[in-house]
Structure 1
Amino acid sequence: MPSLPSTIYPIGAYNLHGLVWQTDANNNTNQGKPYAICVDAYQGHLLKIDPFSEGATVMNNYTAAQFRDATGLAIAGDTLWITKDNGIYYCDLVDFDLQPFMELPNRVDGIAVSEGGVYVSSSEVGKIFVFGRATRTLLRIMDAPGAGFEALTLVGEELWVSDRTEETVYRLKAKSGEILQRGLTPFPNPMGLGFLGDDLYVVYSGDENYIRESPNDLDEPFSVAAREKTFIHRLRFDQYQDGKLNYTLTSGYKVEMIYLEELSSEEPTSVYNLTWRVAYPTDTYRQKLLAIEPIGIPFEEEIVDGQKVAAFKLGNLKPEESRMFGWKATLELHGIKYELKDSEVEFVPDLSPEMQKLYLIDDDGLSMDNPIIQAAAKEAVGDETNILRKMLLIRDYVYDKLSYRVTPYIAAPEEVLLRGTGSCGEYVGLLLALARLNGIACRTVGRYKCPHDGDLMLNVPLHQYYNHVWIEFYIPSIGWLPMESNPDDTGDRPYPTRWFMGLPWYHVEIGKGIFFETIQPQPYSIGELALNHVRFKVLEEI
């Protein structure tokens, strides 16, 4: 039998939830052929999906209305289970006539069923409830691992959970709820998960924007509209260890990135003996630089603080002289999530004097001597001493105080704090100031994100208009850990921790603790001399 495609787009599906894999052993011509079962919450269709043709067959032809708005799906033996609103229901696999199992005081989301237990999640209260299948009594309650809608599936003694808000898959001990491993999903809105052998597949359902054509509207023949987007994708989920660092890599892509500068000055002038430096993409656990080559003119490779930089020796530039130069890099990018419990860092060594000199100082207009910022640093952490909990408290404090807004320039942290809004760079400035004042070494990292709205469009040019920055914080004896600047600021607590000690596949790390781009000599700013062009191509899934 040929291998299954990594991505399946079921035809005629609108809003898929849940995922169960089964094997069709009744057809002699296709014996052993696997198929997926999902419920379409919009139509109420229980769909049997052929992963090869992507065709879907409605199984519950006469009871679709009963399944409408279902959010969870499980099959145990000859019994099918769903969750819907506040209720748990079951039926046989012949007539699909739902029978009530139990009604709960809170809305329930996902479901998994073992021989003796029924597991249901509720994002409304942030819990996973376990009921006796025969007795219908509550056996135990576990904390939900994430902050959003959670789908469930059982594999032996393990409970696997996908969280829509966290964009994360968790592997838990089924009896205790202890988190064993977590990995980021490559796409938003995971709504179900299931195993086919050792392969884990995840269902995604959400909306996407597209350009709608309206031929009869002569004034505005094109407009932005939304449509459903649902598919099934195989998720790579691999755990690694390096020293004291444990991390999980999830599905990745080979990506081409071009960074190009075009000389363009509003006030043409002569520049003498100009060297223009642009950092390389960095090799990390989740990112590998496979190749890099110059565009326009050659560059010389230099090392700055242990990192590679492309140096373009432009020499003397005349007024209105035209040049384009840059690099094209081929990268391997994965999602990464680090596993580290706060109990593991209750006692850590002191930060070395060298690290203090580098990463506890005000080296970038952080206003660390400003009384407003110093007071905020104390208020953010209170009496907390654990370095990991302190970092999370600082993040949540900044999220409480700020909301995201693109700004034309980076303002001082006290100004950002007072006005209550900030760009990603302004979030970073405030995070750096509060962390460093609390003795936590941290640094700015970035620089661009591959447009992930086009992550399924292979070999299509994708243009990125904005750059992006985030931070890394350092734990002695452990190492550097990433933390997003603003994307986890969803506006309401509890804030997700998807990108606290984690990064999705589409982030490109360029320069860690060094400037991404510099010119020498520096009588002008880079923006006064040139326009940049940034382009990506997703070449293939790894």
Structure 2
Amino acid sequence: MPEHGVPNGISQLPTIRPIGVYALSGLAADDNCLFSIDTVRGYLVSVNPHTNNTVILNPHQLEDKEWMDVVGLSLWQDTFWFARDEEVFWCDRTALKPTFFTKLPYPVAGVAVWENTVYISCQKSGYIHLFDRNTGDLLGKFPQPGVGEETLATNEDGLWVCDKTEQTVYCLDRTTGDIQLSALTPYSSPTGIAFYQPDANQEAICYIVYADEEPYIRDNPNAESPYELTFRDRTFIHPLYLQTNQAEHYTLSNGYLVEMSYVEELLPLDAITLNNVEWRIALPASNLRQRIRHVEPIGRPFTIEEQNGQQVAVFRFDQIQPFQGGLIGWKATVEMYSLKYCLTPDDIDGDKPLPTELEGYLVDDDDLAMDTDIIQQAASEGAGTETNVLRKMLRIRNYVYDRLAYGIQPKIDTPDVALERGTGSCGEYVGVLLALARLNGIACRTIGRYKCPPQPEYRHLPLEPDFNHVWLEFYGPGVGWLPMESNVDDVIERGPYPQRFFMGLAWYHMEIGKGIPFTNMTADDKPEEFSLRDLAINHIRFRILDELNPGLE
């Protein structure tokens, strides 16, 4: 498996869409097919990964409802293992007669077996429990790596955990529970994981099953208005591709080849003349998880210059006249992968000083209100007594999540105003996080600018985001810049909060202009109160062209 560089391989394995099922949970595999449970119908199904052919294996066992609400299916040798409510069962794969194995105090989400050890995950207890397969005796437990319901699988590499809320797959040491790697899934609501190896000479394929609801427009001919917004079940199985760099503690997972267009339409609100104009618009960044394959101008030619290592498109006008029209912008084809770091506090070198060139990321350079009482008190309360950068940053994030709820505001207020109000947009979350982190000696910077609508099944169709978006990066001594979402993980009132985007970014985050302004203009005699918003409106469009496998080059 390649260790370095951003790859450009294209996935050839299709999404598997079983027929006649509604919400699959748990996933198992043998040499011929995949198995899962439809929790709505109580079907145990086999699915041919090449044809989508779906077979109900328990057609005569539906009336007694033994398989209703079953979750966490797995396969060990010739026995299926699964759970229903607090109880765990196993059955011979031929007879399919469930046999009771053990019971936990709380509902079980996942079951897996490796040799003589049975692993059972329980969200409410917060642990993965280990039992002896032959005697049923409790052997021990270790903490769940995430906060959601977790399904399980095993192979030679370890115990694999798939967390529905975290949208993350973890590989744990089967004995200690230590996390070996973590990776983001390309879709939300993963409910099962398995490894399928149809050929002994072929590397096993990691498959993830997903189950959720999607909104759609229903045509109702009996209604006064025939178009209704409603929801429908969506469940499917998709390969998960991984490329892990152990030395640098990160894993890339499924990516997409994405085309993004950013265009400014000249539409002046006032009669204004600008001479000798240079209009700069940042281009997508190139880094571990993102690389530009191609870029071209829209509307008007540009030249490319570098600012702090970032590429910027420069459009030049001798003059922009009153009420002049026109389009300027760029279209870029970019490889975009999911990225997740797997670091512990011990991986951070706390004795290593901050590089001199990064000291500017500790000061109030953007109306962060760092000198106000409310922000200084919040910085002290947020960090508490933590001294390690990772623990301190996570504690600050959780403190801000406790104090803020997400809401769109007509304008971005300073952190002191947002914190006192108790609600904030993504930009206001970022402002508060920057202020609190910098006051605690953690170098931070704003990153953004857009998210591609996360609909990878909509290939070659124009997709337009509803809003722009910003998040941040913080600096880990001895490691480098680490990404952190602003508000997206603030999804559970008062926690526990997911860490899916703490030191991680999904494939749909488009990083543009890291550490530099996204767009600005210089011109002769430009009015002091001039704003680009008074001169032009922007148009943003994405197209998802193909899926990428980070393990191929």
* TM-score category of the 2 structures, normalised to the smaller one: over 0.9
Matches of 1:223 and 1:472, distance apart in 2: 41
Alpha-carbon offset, residue 98 of structure 1:
1.6
Q: How does 1:117-136 map to 2 (within 5 A)?
A: 117-136=117-136
Alpha-carbon offset, residue 384 of structure 1:
1.1
Check whether the contact 1:152–1:159 (CA below 8 A) recurs between aligned residues. Answer: yes
Counterpart in 1 of 2:81?
A: 81
Secondary structure in 2 aligned to 1:8?
Answer: coil
Matches of 1:403 and 1:150, distance apart in 2: 27
Alpha-carbon offset, residue 157 of structure 1:
5.8
**Are 2:318 and 1:315 equivalent residues in the alignment?**
yes
Counterpart in 2 of 1:12?
A: 20
Q: How does 1:55-454 map to 2 (within 5 A)?
A: 55-64=53-62, 65-156=65-156, 158-197=158-197, 198-218=204-224, 220-240=225-245, 245-345=248-348, 347-356=350-359, 358-452=360-454, 454=455
Alpha-carbon offset, residue 257 of structure 1:
0.4
Check whether the contact 2:292–2:334 (CA below 8 A) recurs between aligned residues. Answer: yes
Matches of 1:209 and 1:69, distance apart in 2: 24
Q: When the two structures are aligned, how many residues end up with a matched partner?
A: 525
Check whether the contact 1:348–1:475 (CA below 8 A) recurs between aligned residues. Answer: no
Matches of 2:234 and 2:14, distance apart in 1: 17
Counterpart in 2 of 1:26?
A: none
* Residue deviations 1:402-425 (CA, integer Å, cap 9, x gap): 011111211010100011000000
User: Could you say if the C-alpha distance between residues 4 and 413 of structure 1 is closer, same or farther in structure 2, counting changes exceeding 3 Å?
Assistant: closer
**Are 2:476 and 1:470 equivalent residues in the alignment?**
no
Counterpart in 2 of 1:540?
A: 546
User: Could you say if the C-alpha distance between residues 43 and 354 of structure 1 is closer, same or farther in structure 2, counting changes exceeding 3 Å?
Assistant: same
Alpha-carbon offset, residue 346 of structure 1:
5.5
Check whether the contact 2:350–2:477 (CA below 8 A) recurs between aligned residues. Answer: no
Residue type of the alignment partner of 1:501: M
Deviates more, 1:366-375 or 1:339-348: 339-348
Alpha-carbon offset, residue 343 of structure 1:
1.6
* Residue deviations 1:150-202 (CA, integer Å, cap 9, x gap): 01011136100100111100000111101001111011011000011321111
Secondary structure in 1 aligned to 2:466?
Answer: coil
Secondary structure in 1 aligned to 2:59?
Answer: coil
Alpha-carbon offset, residue 273 of structure 1:
2.4
Matches of 2:356 and 2:245, distance apart in 1: 31
Residue type of the alignment partner of 1:259: Y
When normalised by structure 1's length, the TM-score is 0.95
- The percentage of counterpart residues that share the same residue type is 46
Residue type of the alignment partner of 2:42: G
Matches of 1:303 and 1:150, distance apart in 2: 45
Matches of 1:307 and 1:103, distance apart in 2: 57
User: Could you say if the C-alpha distance between residues 305 and 156 of structure 1 is closer, same or farther in structure 2, counting changes exceeding 3 Å?
Assistant: closer
Matches of 1:346 and 1:87, distance apart in 2: 45
Residue type of the alignment partner of 1:55: N
Check whether the contact 2:348–2:478 (CA below 8 A) recurs between aligned residues. Answer: no
Matches of 1:341 and 1:248, distance apart in 2: 15
Matches of 1:50 and 1:157, distance apart in 2: 25
Alpha-carbon offset, residue 318 of structure 1:
1.7
* Residue deviations 1:20-50 (CA, integer Å, cap 9, x gap): 1123xxxxxxxxxx21111111101001111
**Are 2:502 and 1:496 equivalent residues in the alignment?**
no
Alpha-carbon offset, residue 52 of structure 1:
2.1
Alpha-carbon offset, residue 246 of structure 1:
1.8
Residue type of the alignment partner of 1:156: E
Deviates more, 1:322-331 or 1:232-241: 232-241
Residue type of the alignment partner of 2:269: E
Residue type of the alignment partner of 1:384: E
Residue type of the alignment partner of 1:359: Y
Matches of 2:354 and 2:241, distance apart in 1: 36
Secondary structure in 1 aligned to 2:435?
Answer: helix
Matches of 1:229 and 1:386, distance apart in 2: 42
- Structure 1 segments unaligned to the other structure (5+ residues): 24-33
Counterpart in 1 of 2:8?
A: none
Check whether the contact 1:402–1:420 (CA below 8 A) recurs between aligned residues. Answer: yes
Counterpart in 2 of 1:40?
A: 38
Residue type of the alignment partner of 1:443: R
* Residue deviations 1:70-128 (CA, integer Å, cap 9, x gap): 11112222221111111111222223222222222111100001231211101112110
Matches of 2:415 and 2:297, distance apart in 1: 37
Alpha-carbon offset, residue 272 of structure 1:
2.5
When normalised by structure 2's length, the TM-score is 0.93
- Structure 2 segments unaligned to the other structure (5+ residues): 1-10, 198-203, 549-553
Question: CA RMSD of the aligned region, Å?
Answer: 1.4
Q: 2:48 aligns with which of 27, 47, 50?
A: 50
Secondary structure in 2 aligned to 1:67?
Answer: coil
